Amino acid sequence: MKHKHYNGHRDIIYDFTYIFDVIPTDPAVGLFWHDENGIPTTDPEKVMNKISVEIPQNRRAETLEDFKIVFENEFFKYHATDRDIFSKRQIEVFQEKIENIKQLEQEHPFYDYIELLEKYISFLRCPVSSNDIFIPIIQEDCTNDLICKLQNYFDPKEQFENFMNGCNVVGKINFKGDQNKLAGIFIDMRSFEYIQLGTHQQTYDFIRQTFLICGKPIDSKQILTYLKDPSKANKNKFIDLSI
């Protein structure tokens, strides 16, 4: 299907729907066929090996919980710091999109998209709370030793020390490593009982809100996967946190 363009811009509908198509659902399951040389093939007569694969799938946001995920994704993507201000700005943006859609409505019946945006705006009009973000609590008798072990991995150092000491963090802290290594810090701190954490989701949300990876926002859920199942992480790359 070809998407029309208006005034040189992308189709107005496809400008925003990708924002809502982020809710994980059951993966698509299939088989990759390979011949005797391990080369992919579509010829049934040449198939010597079949490899089962699962392809992640997303669906469109529908429920209140879905809209919470949409909002948090957008909040982190734009490096916002105040949820209430960001919520008001999103209301303005999506109200404008509704008006733009209505201008096309005689030619294109986009009622479903208008309904989607109106539902999301209704969600945004409710007070947006950050109470679901659980702030980790680090044991005081471990703080100095952990700072010595970890401070060279984080910038700015003063904000990293604020985090370790339970003080307010201004801006985001940049971690000079990968997601495996950052997840390992929280996995091992929990294992050694250096830190009190919330649920895996709350810990992941806190990490996304507080840290960057090599200057970039954390957009994937790789860290959440490691938090839920540490066996999936490469522990050989973890930083030694033994005290």
pLDDT digits (tens, 9 = 90+) for 27-52: 888 888 888 888 988 898 898 888 88
Question: What are the domain boundaries of the chain?
Answer: 1-20+61-131, 23-59, 137-237
d(CA 176, CA 64): 36
CA 181 to chain centre: 17
pLDDT at 11 over 70: no
pLDDT at 129 over 80: no
Chain segment 210-237, per-residue pLDDT in tens: 999 999 999 889 999 999 999 999 999 9
> What is the pLDDT, as a whole number, of residue 179?
96
d(CA 22, CA 61): 7
Residues 6+ apart with CB under 8 A from 38: 49
Mean pLDDT of 121-146: 79
Alpha-carbon Rg of the chain, whole angstroms? 23
Q: Between 234 and 201, whose confidence is greater?
A: 234
Residue type, 194: Y
pTM of the model: 0.51
Lowest mean pLDDT among 49-63, 93-107, 120-134: 120-134
Give the strand pairing for 23-34 and 49-59.
antiparallel
Closest C-alpha among 118, 211, 204, 196 to residue 162: 211
